[in-house]
Amino acid sequence: MNKYRVIYYLCIIAFVANVSMMIGTLLGWFHILDSNYFFWSSLIFSLVFERIEKKVKEREKV
């Protein structure tokens, strides 16, 4: 359970950093080419969130 919690919180931190970088792209702090990587990484983070939440719910049922 603790392993999943640590991964979950690390993903939240990375996701918030990713969103701030996407906003920085809109403000001109980063190049447009970099924003493609930010978008795909945010999709991957959302999939990781869903998977960890499913595993935690499965363990709570047992």
Domain range annotation of the chain: 2-61
- Burial string for 29-45 (b: 16+ CB within 10 Å, else e) reads ebeeeeeeebeebbeeb
- Residue 48 tokens, joined: 């990781």
Site of tokens 């980063």: 30
Q: Is the pTM of this model over 0.75?
A: no
pLDDT of res. 10: 80
pLDDT tens figures, 10-59 = 878 877 887 787 787 788 777 666 566 767 777 787 788 788 788 878 87
As a whole number of angstroms, the longest Cα–Cα distance in the chain is: 49
pLDDT at residue number 29:
76
Q: Is the pLDDT of residue 1 over 70?
A: no
Q: How far apart are CA 35 and CA 41, in angstroms?
A: 10
